[in-house]
């Protein structure tokens, strides 16, 4: 692709995009893999792997991304439809099979959804697919009329001959277009000519989710399917020593009890029988090396580690010397806990292993990895394993696991019993099942000069590495530093002259994974709260100080100004309320949030209002951007006020939503979203709304009550402890 947006045929083929049914060049899309009822016919026009046009004019867009609530089944078809000039009412969507054409364009040869990259990674790819099909349809119509293609244009599902106003529908042209050669030169639209991109569109998946026809992993039922529930070690790293299944086998409906790599599976006619069978199972466990894991002791060890110098992740000036020269200094410790992803749909997978093939139905974020794991277990070549992606009832990173463990369980059980099997996790299994956001200990020192401006800043981070021991270790760990642990801290935009951010990689053991917004989920909290502390130390307004420190980042300063203006920053509030502000960049997008809160007599925090300003560059669907900001805020708010996974004697203490709470509807604040479209490069939108909410709330608590909260979650107990510490 050159600067003019041109792509020659060779370049298009190299992207793996030019494939088809009647125009098969690289990848065949098998029948029966589609979420919506849609079947290839001999007269269908399928110019590439990403779209097909039926004789009735229906445009089916095939996407290689998972839909877990973030809206890709609408935003990605919009990219195709814009360049195709399709009638939006004719557009349908389906999920792709595992095939090279759908590999991530940034993450290498793998089909994966994550990192808030779905739109960014397919922006040119899908638009090019639509533009190529449009040119072929125009060519087909020109041949019918015996005119030059340049005298024709596509619009709203038709090709129109401009001099005569004759028109032919896309569906009418489908068969003829299927016999044409793909274009060798493709020019994409100038953004000023967009008619669909940038407009709010209702989600294509909403009707199916409302009427119950949408297929989630938990919904999959196939003939002869059994259901399995797995007894897993109560301590991470534990193993089965022995088990007695005599009582389990007496439960009505239980068919098999088999040991697999991760525990013992009870296989039954249905979920309830499998669950009762597991309850009756007697397992003797070797608890392993983490049997003494205790949260309080773990943070005590982290605190000791933080006393020694770590590996420098960012360094500017001489922070140690500047602290000695500062007019005022401040020290603080911020602690954040392990967090579960807690998607509404617990993990599940259906597998049917046969001697010569394996079929999988699963809501996953890592299709290629999961398909290859199944192939390994079955001893089959990957092409003998088919994986059907269903809708995901939430993911947040939990369904993007490098070891494919929940898929491996289903494949192993199906292979052992010789029948199709759904492995179903319970809510308790999900909360206690690991792969958490890592806990982190943060030690900070800061100093201000005689004018109250920050002079020095040091930040020491201690936490587990997400990448250590995974296939992603080489790319994510650089010079001993896990980049996901320091992102948002090592690249702070604030113009503080003397900075040191250093890192200690804590011992592994607890399974950890990317959680919505990954390292930004805690570094934003620490960075934005400590900056507020320095503002107070120097007698500065928190908003004004941020503006002054963003002199080299006018885009972020402009966004911050928008959030402050829309929130009424500086205006009077009802008694007992305070405002807090935070701004953060992640995944290529900038987010500023202002929270309005109060603290009641029982030390409970109530968030009344959140004003959010977002700059994600060019906007595809404003409705999706607004929804994802609201979603990210409530997700982050749940963690900020309630979320924590803690350990005692190696065991997770939480089990369900009664002790791993989320924000309930009666506690949800009013959320206002303001989009600042800067025209900059596209940023992500699924994750960036989460990081700023915790610091905005914590800073608002200080404004309302004078209490500085440095530990998450901000429970009444934490508020009470802060009150006692200041009294």
Residue 521 is classified by DSSP as: H
The answer to the question of residue 208 being in a domain is: no
Q: Supply the pLDDT for residue 43.
A: 66
Biggest CA-to-CA distance, the chain: 88
Distance of alpha carbon 168 from alpha carbon 401, whole angstroms: 48
Q: What order do you get walking across the sheet with 51-53 strand by strand?
A: 45-48, 51-53, 59-63, 91-95
Q: How confident is the model at residue 12 (pLDDT cuts 50, 70, 90)?
A: very low
Report yes or no: 606 and 637 within 8 Å, Cβ to Cβ: no
pLDDT digits (tens, 9 = 90+) for 268-288: 999 999 999 999 999 999 999
Dump pLDDT digits (tens) for 73-99.
Answer: 999 999 999 999 999 999 999 999 999
Whether the model clears a pTM of 0.85, i.e. scores above it, the answer is: yes
Whose CA is closest to 204, among 307, 295, 86? 86
CA atoms of 347 and 405, how far apart (whole Å): 10
Residue that is last in its domain, among 364, 398, 424: 424
Q: Which among 202, 231, 258 is the end of a domain?
A: 202
CATH number assigned to the domain comprising residue 412: 3.30.365.10
Angle (CA) 531-667-546 rounded to 5° is: 15
Domain span at residue 101 reads 6-202
For residue 2, pLDDT beyond 90: no
Q: In terms of domains, do 183 and 276 share one?
A: no
Asked if 550 and 502 sit in the same domain, the reply is yes
C-alpha separations of 429 from 300, 342, 410, 578, 663 in Å: 28, 10, 15, 39, 21
pLDDT at 293: 98
372-431 pLDDT, tens digit per residue, is 999 999 999 999 999 999 999 999 999 999 999 999 999 999 999 999 999 999 999 999
Query: Hey, CA dihedral for 278, 283, 286, 290, is it positive or negative?
Result: positive
Residue 108's pLDDT is 84
Q: Is residue 17 part of a domain?
A: yes
Stretch (H or E) spanning 294 = none
In the structure, what pLDDT confidence band is assigned to residue 724 with cuts at 50, 70 and 90? very high
Nearest Cα neighbor of 131 from 183, 75, 192 is 183
With residues binned 3-state (H G I as helix, E B as strand, rest as coil), the percentages for the chain, rounded to 5, are 35, 25, 40
CB atoms within 10 A of CB 564: 23
Domain check: are 553 and 607 in the same one?
yes
Query: CB–CB of 32/89 below 8 Å?
Result: no
Tens of pLDDT along 492-517? 999 999 999 999 999 999 999 999 99
CA 340 to chain centroid: 14
**Do residue 167 and residue 260 come from a single domain?**
no
Pair 20, 47: CB distance under 8 Å: yes
Residue 429, domain member (yes or no): no
Assign 351 a pLDDT band (cuts: 50, 70, 90): very high
Count of C-beta atoms within a 10 Å radius of residue 308 = 9
Task: State yes or no: pLDDT of 30 exceeds 80.
Answer: no
In angstroms, the CA 185 to CA 13 distance is: 12
CA distance 192 to 722: 53
CA atoms within 13 A on the CB side of 602: 2
In a shared domain, residues 54 and 185: yes
Give the position of tokens 């502390």. Answer: 533
How big is the CA angle at 69 (ends 398 and 513), to the nearest 5 degrees? 15
Q: Answer with the one of 402, 424, 446 that is the final residue of a domain.
A: 424
Q: How far apart are CA 661 and CA 427, in angstroms?
A: 13
Q: Could you tell me if 395 and 485 lie in one domain? A: no
> 207 in a domain, yes or no?
no
> DSSP strand E in 142-270: where?
152-155, 158-161, 166-169, 185-187, 226-231, 239-244, 254-260, 263-268
CA distances (Å), 313 to each of 197, 319, 330, 479, in order? 39, 14, 22, 9
Cα 570–chain centre separation: 35
Strand partners of residue 500: 315, 458
CA–CA gap between residue 336 and residue 435 (Å, rounded): 16
CA distance 509 to 368: 26
Kindly indicate the confidence band of residue 469, based on its pLDDT and cuts at 50, 70 and 90.
confident
Same domain? 180 vs 267: no
Q: How far apart are CA 205 and CA 93, in angstroms?
A: 9
Structure tokens at 544: 């004004």
Q: Please, are residues 529 and 699 in contact by the beta-carbon 8 Å criterion?
A: yes
Residue 431 domain-assigned? no
The whole-angstrom separation of Cα 606 and Cα 583 is 21
Rounded CA separation 642/340 (Å): 12
Q: Are 497 and 317 in contact (CB under 8 A)?
A: yes
Whether 189 and 226 map to the same domain: the answer is: no
User: Is 305 found in the same domain as 164?
Assistant: no
Do residue 403 and residue 544 come from a single domain?
no
**Residue 30 burial by Cβ neighbours in a 10 Å radius (0-12, 13-18, 19+):** exposed
Residue 345 near residue 363 (C-beta atoms within 8 A): yes
Structure tokens at 408: 């491996």
What is the number of structural domains in the chain? 3
713 upstream amide cis, omega within 30 of 0: yes
What is the Cα–Cα distance from 55 to 29, expressed in whole angstroms? 18
**Tokens 């389990």 -> residue:** 248
Instruction: Tell whether 355 is covered by a domain.
Output: yes
Tell me if 77 sits within 8 A of 93, measured CB to CB: yes
Model pLDDT, residue 131: 98
pLDDT band, very low/low/confident/very high, at 472 (cuts 50, 70, 90): confident
Are 281 and 303 found together in one domain?
no
In angstroms, the CA 434 to CA 6 distance is: 47
In the predicted structure, residue 21 carries a pLDDT above the cut 80: no
How far apart are alpha carbons 413 and 651 in whole angstroms? 26
Is residue 430 assigned to a domain?
no
* pLDDT above 80: residue 126: yes
Length of the chain: 727
Q: 237 pLDDT exceeds 50?
A: yes
> Distance from CA of residue 130 to its chain's centroid?
26
Angular region, 284: left φ>0, alpha ψ -120 to 50, beta rest: beta
Assigned domain for 85 exists: yes
Same domain, 263 and 302: no
Q: Phi and psi for 292 in degrees, rounded to 5?
A: -100, 10
Q: Are 516 and 341 in contact (CB under 8 A)?
A: yes
């Amino acid at each position: 692709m050159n600067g003019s947006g041109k792509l020659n045929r060779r370049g298009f083929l190299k992207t793996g995009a030019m494939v088809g049914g009647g125009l098969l060049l690289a990848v065949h899309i098998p029948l029966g893999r589609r979420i919506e009822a849609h079947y290839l016919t001999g007269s269908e026009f399928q110019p590439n792997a990403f779209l097909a046009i039926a004789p009735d004019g229906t445009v089916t867009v095939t996407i290689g991304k998972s839909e877990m609530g973030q809206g890709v089944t609408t935003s990605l078809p919009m990219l195709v439809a814009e360049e195709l000039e399709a009638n939006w009412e004719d557009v349908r969507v389906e999920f792709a099979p595992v095939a090279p054409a759908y590999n991530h364009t940034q993450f290498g040869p793998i089909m994966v959804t994550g990192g808030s990259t779905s739109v960014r990674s397919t922006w040119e790819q899908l638009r090019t697919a639509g533009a190529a099909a449009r040119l072929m349809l125009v060519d087909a119509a020109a041949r019918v009329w015996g005119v030059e293609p340049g005298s024709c244009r596509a619009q709203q599902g038709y090709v129109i001959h401009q001099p005569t106003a004759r028109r032919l529908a896309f569906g009418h042209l489908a068969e003829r277009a299927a016999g044409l050669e793909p274009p060798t030169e493709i020019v994409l639209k100038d953004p000023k000519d967009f008619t669909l991109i940038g407009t709010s569109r209702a989600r294509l998946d909403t009707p199916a989710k409302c009427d119950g026809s949408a297929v989630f992993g938990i919904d999959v039922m196939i003939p002869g399917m059994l259901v399995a529930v797995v007894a897993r070690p109560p301590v991470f790293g534990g193993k089965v020593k022995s088990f007695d299944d005599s009582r389990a086998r007496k439960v009505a409906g239980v068919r098999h009890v088999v040991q697999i790599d991760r525990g013992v599976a009870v296989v039954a006619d249905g979920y309830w029988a499998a669950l009762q069978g597991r309850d009756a199972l007697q397992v003797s466990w070797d608890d392993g090396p983490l049997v003494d894991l205790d949260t309080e002791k773990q943070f005590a060890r982290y605190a000791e580690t933080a006393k020694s110098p770590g590996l420098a992740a960012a360094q500017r000036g001489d922070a140690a010397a500047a602290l000695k020269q500062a007019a005022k200094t401040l020290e603080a410790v911020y602690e954040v806990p392990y967090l579960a992803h807690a998607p509404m749909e617990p993990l599940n997978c259906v597998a049917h292993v046969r001697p010569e093939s394996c079929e999988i139905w699963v809501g996953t974020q890592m299709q290629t990895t999961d398909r290859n794991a199944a192939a390994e277990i079955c001893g089959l070549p990957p092409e003998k394993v088919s994986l059907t992606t269903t809708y995901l009832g939430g993911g947040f990173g939990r369904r993007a696991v490098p070891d494919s463990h929940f898929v491996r369980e289903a494949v192993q059980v199906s292979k052992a019993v010789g029948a199709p099997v759904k492995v179903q996790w319970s809510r308790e299994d999900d909360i206690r099942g690991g792969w958490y956001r890592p806990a982190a200990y943060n030690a900070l020192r800061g100093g201000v000069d005689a004018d109250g401006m920050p002079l020095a800043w040091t930040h020491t981070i201690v936490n587990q590495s997400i990448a250590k021991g995974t296939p992603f270790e080489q790319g994510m760990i650089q010079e001993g530093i896990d980049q996901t642990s320091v992102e948002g801290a090592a690249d702070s935009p604030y113009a503080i002259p003397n900075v040191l951010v250093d890192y200690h990689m804590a011992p592994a053991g607890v399974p950890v994974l990317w959680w919505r917004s990954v390292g930004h989920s805690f570094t934003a909290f620490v960075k934005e709260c400590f900056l507020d502390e320095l503002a107070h130390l120097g007698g500065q307004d928190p908003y004004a100080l941020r503006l002054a420190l963003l002199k080299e980042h006018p885009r972020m300063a402009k966004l911050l100004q928008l959030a402050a203006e829309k929130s009424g920053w500086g205006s009077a509030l009802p008694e007992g309320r305070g405002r807090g502000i935070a701004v953060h960049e992640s995944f290529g997008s900038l987010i500023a949030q202002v929270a309005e809160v109060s603290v009641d007599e029982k030390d409970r925090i109530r968030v009344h209002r959140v004003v959010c300003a977002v700059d994600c560059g060019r906007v595809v669907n404003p409705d999706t951007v607004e929804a994802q900001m609201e979603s990210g805020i409530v997700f982050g708010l749940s963690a900020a006020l309630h979320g924590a996974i803690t350990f005692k004697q190696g065991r997770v203490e939480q089990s369900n939503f009664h002790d791993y709470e989320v924000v309930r509807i009666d506690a949800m604040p009013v959320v206002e979203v303001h989009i600042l479209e800067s025209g900059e490069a596209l940023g992500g939108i699924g994750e960036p709304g989460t990081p700023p909410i915790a610091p905005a709330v914590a800073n608002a608590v200080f404004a309302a009550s004078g209490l500085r909260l440095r530990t998450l979650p901000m429970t009444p107990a934490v508020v009470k402890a802060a009150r006692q510490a200041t009294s």
